[in-house]
Amino acid sequence: MIKHIVMWNVRGDTPVAKRAVINQLKRSFAELAGLIPGIVHMEVGVDISRIDYACDVVLYSEFESQAALDAYAVHPAHLRVKKELADMRIARHQVDYTVAAPQRGVV
């Protein structure tokens, strides 16, 4: 299994403007979960800490395999969302890693 985690800071001059961008981001990724084969789990989380170095939003997703993640990366529905989000973000961070089996706790 591959875990794919992406974090963004989004555009918005006010909390209301940022919330609108985050809501659009959440809707866009919710559409992908049922469209693209190989996605085991996908969720979008919104930061509640409000500390200055935190990202605004995180995408946590799990894929059956590296091949499934690779297929997701070039899938037309994902490319549409990626293009849509390009103008909404001001920073992006990503981590992908392999796990052998579902984990409990920290390893």
CATH assignment of the domain containing 13: 3.30.70.100
Residue 60 region, left (φ>0) first, then alpha (ψ -120 to 50), else beta? beta
Number of domains in the chain: 1
The verdict on residue 104 lying in a domain is no
Is 23 domain-assigned?
A: yes
What's the pLDDT at 34?
82
Higher pLDDT, 46 or 102: 46
Which token pair is 101? 């089996």
Residues 23-37, mean pLDDT to the nearest whole number: 90
- Domain containing 13: what range? 2-98
CA distance 61 to 96: 10
Any domain includes 107: no
pTM (2 d.p.): 0.87
Alpha-carbon distances, residue 28 vs 8, 23, 48, 65 (angstroms): 14, 9, 21, 23
Q: Which residues contact 30 (CB under 8 A, 6 or more apart)?
A: 44
For residue 49, is it within any domain? Answer: yes
Q: What is the pLDDT of residues 57-97, one digit of tens each?
A: 999 999 999 999 999 999 999 999 999 999 999 999 999 99
